Amino acid sequence: MDALLQSTERGLYCPTGDFYIDPQQAVQRAIVTHAHSDHARPGCRSYLAAQSSEQLLRMRMNDDAALEFLPYGKSLTINGVGVSFHPAGHILGSAQVRLEYRGRVAVISGDYKLGNDPTCESWQPVKCDLFVTESTFGLPVYRWQADETVKDSINDWWRESRDTGKCCVLYGYAIGKSQRLLASLDPTTGPIYTHGAVEKGCEAYRAAGVLLPETTYVGTVTGKNDWVGAMVIAVPSAHGTPWMRRFGLVSTAMASGWMAVRGSRRRRSVDRGFVMSDHADWPSLLTAVEACDAETVWVTHGYSAAVARFLQEKGLDARAIDSSTRSESDEDEIAP
């Protein structure tokens, strides 16, 4: 397996193919699972990514970056290593990377979630010998509710706020979460506005053919505007800034998997916390590991040690490939 994949300081490396997957630093050749900035870093000589992430990656990268795209399921050979992308269900264009060399298969999950999301292709299991899984929410306290339930509670909150003369400000990451939130809203409740960073993300989604409800960029609103009953989708870093003043009386909410825990919710000092995550929760992480049928599992990005130990005790060859745990703020810093 060493010829296929190694865990290095710079990130996951395929020695035979001589390329990195989601490298932490600038390298010659990078394969990128999705367009979030902790996975797609600038400065590499060339990039390869799934076709449907094209709009988002082009938005993120410099104009002169050498980008190549490959549709889901299609294979390309790099120095004898077969490379293909498979939907990861995390955000638009997010992919699991499948590597094959001399009959051995490794799958790198990137970030992923199970279940349906109208703004991106659904995760599919890919059989492999080595599965590299993220573990952002890899503890049994993280169990997501049904999408419908979360959707309903967001729309209920919007209507309640409207009826009590407030403007809703809902925080989510600019790319992925925001668009998923938009797709969950009932546009008959009131007008929907977006923060600049969110609007940019929406443009890329729409260009890729994803249907989203109509939105107005807050920056284009001039003069007096009646914000009562409106829904504003914004990035978390906008919370408590002067930018918020224009909305008058607001009810604020955050949509994130971290909201499952009361302490995180209270720390945010928002009025509501909706548990909506684009990462796998505990049951789906176990489902994914089982569905991939891998004999070896590498765990990264989160509660790596705990998940690895749990899988070892289940009889799998599992290990944690990083020691740093992910904190809430890491995700926030995903630049617009």
Partner 1 sequence: MIRFTELYHAVDATTKTNEKISAIANYYAAALPEDAAWATYFLSGNKLKQLVPTSSLRKWAAEEANIPSWLLDESYHAVGDLAETLSLVVPSGTIVDDLSLSQWIENRLMPLRNMNEPAKREVITMIWKQTSAKMRLVIMKLITGAFRLGVSKRLVTRAIAEHSGVSADVISHRLMGNWKPTPAFYERLVDPDLQDALSSQPYPFCLAHAINTELETQSIGGCEEYFAEWKWDGIRGQVIRRASKSFIWSRGEELMENRWPEIESAAASLPEGTVLDGEILAALPDGKVLPFSQLQRRINRKTVEKKLLVEVPVVFQAFDLLEQDGIDIRSLPLTERRSRLETLMSNLEHPQLMVTQLLDGKSWSDWATIRETSRDMAAEGLMLKRKDAPYATGRVRGTWWKWKVLPYSIDAVLIYAQKGHGKRASLYTDYTFALWDGDKLVPVAKAYTGLDDSEILKVDRFVRQNTKEAFGPVRSVTPTLVMEIAFEGIQRSTRHKSGIATRFPRIKRWRHDKNPVDANTLQELLAMLP
By CB under 8 A, name the binding residues for partner 1: 139-143, 145, 260-264, 266-267, 269, 271-273, 303, 306, 309-310, 313, 323-325, 327-329
**Dihedral pair phi/psi, residue 309, rounded to 5°:** -65, -40
Q: Closer to partner 1 at the Cβ: 10 or 143?
A: 143
Which SS3 state, helix, strand or coil, does residue 285 take?
helix
CB of 310 to partner 1, least distance (A): 6
Q: Closer to partner 1 at the Cβ: 78 or 261?
A: 261
Least Cα distance to 91 among 134, 141, 53 occurs for 53
132, 274 contact by CB (below 8 A): no
Least Cα distance to 167 among 229, 118, 80 occurs for 229
Q: Report the distance separating Cα 27 and Cα 276, nearest Å.
A: 34
Amino acid identity, position 1: M
CB of 18 to partner 1, least distance (A): 29
Q: Closer to partner 1 at the Cβ: 85 or 137?
A: 137
Q: Closer to partner 1 at the Cβ: 214 or 313?
A: 313
Beta bridge partners of 216: 193
Q: Closer to partner 1 at the Cβ: 142 or 247?
A: 142
Q: Which residues contact 50 (CB under 8 A, 6 or more apart)?
A: 69, 70, 71, 72, 85, 93, 94, 95
CB of 239 to partner 1, least distance (A): 12
Q: Report the distance separating Cα 324 and Cα 317, nearest Å.
A: 21
CB of 98 to partner 1, least distance (A): 30
130, 298 contact by CB (below 8 A): yes
145, 275 contact by CB (below 8 A): yes
CB of 226 to partner 1, least distance (A): 23
Angle at which helices 177-184 and 147-163 pack, to 10 degrees? 70
CB of 324 to partner 1, least distance (A): 5
Q: Closer to partner 1 at the Cβ: 142 or 205?
A: 142
CB of 195 to partner 1, least distance (A): 21
Q: Closer to partner 1 at the Cβ: 218 or 253?
A: 253
Amino acid identity, position 250: V
